[in-house]
Structure 1
Amino acid sequence: MKQLPKIQLAGLKVRCNNFDGSAKTEIGSLWQRFFSEGFASKIEHKVNADMYCVYTEYESDYRGDYTCFLGYAVSEPTADQNLAYLEIDADSYQTFDASGKMPESVLNKWEEIWADKSLKRAYHADFDLYKFSEAKEGQEPEVEIYLSVSE
């Protein structure tokens, strides 16, 4: 179990659902738009090069609608009006290693998480942390999944 402080993020977001077929398409399109339209370079005050893919604003649980937010941790808001902002409150997290061939390793790990009924999920804000700041040139980043949990 890890305790994390509040995190401020800048990036893009989309509303989706894992079970109506929209999530895979919507999240894939979000990643594509983020890079093809150069949003990475538009975000100022980045804390580091690590990327966050956050799942939050859950309607109910992993079977309902939720918001997917893609971006970077920032020390202060960016002036760009085309960016969305998200603040993740300090919380307790259970972590999972999802490193490997992308995106399969992350998708497979989420399927394992969904199937594990023993997890005490809080459904506050869960996220994939892509550790680009630690990756070597041409190498896939390590990925950790942070799952908000009830204590």
Structure 2
Amino acid sequence: MKLKIMNSIRTNNFNDEHLMQKITDLWQEASGLLDNQKVITYAVYHNYESDYKGDYSLSITVEDDAGEPSLKILNNAKYEIFNVDTTKEHGVYDTWKEIWAREEAGTLERAYSFDFEKYSPNGEIEVYIALR
């Protein structure tokens, strides 16, 4: 999959007191660049320092088969897919809490390569977690 990066941040889930504002600002900036296009948009988590408690990069991207990719995710990677309950206000965050809990319990062995949230034009959201 070839993805064009709209914008990125470097952050941490637990040590960044401005995390929610940084992510909100990131999405607002990306929305302005998308010009209301009906495209699949991805929030890609990459360049992990360690595990989910360490620093990582978060990039808002769109599929771009026409140009040079600014981020390339291997299609042969193995992923577990989590469907987000979009009827809940914090559905994405709740999904991540489930992922972290499964990892802590030892029932999810993450690769920490490229994880991503897939935002479809129809409103569906899926979280893809790379597995070892």
Q: Could you say whether these structures have the same fold, taking a TM-score greater than 0.5 normalized by the shorter chain as the test? A: yes
- Counterpart in the other structure of 1:3: none
CA–CA distance in structure 1, aligned partners of residues 113 and 57 of structure 2: 11
- Counterpart in the other structure of 2:45: 55
Question: 1:8, CA displacement in angstroms?
Answer: 2.8
Among 11, 16, 21, the residue aligned to 2:11: 16
Question: 1:98, CA displacement in angstroms?
Answer: 0.5
SS of aligned partner of 2:62: strand
Q: Percent identity?
A: 32
Aligned residues, how many?
127
- Counterpart in the other structure of 2:116: 127
- Counterpart in the other structure of 1:7: 2
Question: 1:61, CA displacement in angstroms?
Answer: 0.8
- Counterpart in the other structure of 2:83: 97
Q: Is the 8 A contact 2:7 2:30 kept in 1?
A: yes
* Counterpart residue identity of residue 111, structure 2: A
* Counterpart residue identity of residue 120, structure 1: E
**Residue 40 in structure 1 maps to residue 29 in structure 2:** no
Unaligned runs of 5+ in 2: none
TM-score where L is the length of structure 2: 0.85
RMSD: 2.2
- Counterpart in the other structure of 2:58: 68
TM-score where L is the length of structure 1: 0.75
- Counterpart in the other structure of 1:25: 21
Q: Is the 8 A contact 2:2 2:70 kept in 1?
A: no
Cα distance, 1:26–1:102 mapped onto 2, change above 3 Å: farther
Question: 1:101, CA displacement in angstroms?
Answer: 3.6
SS of aligned partner of 2:22: helix
Cα distance, 1:128–1:103 mapped onto 2, change above 3 Å: farther
Q: Which has the higher strand share?
A: 1
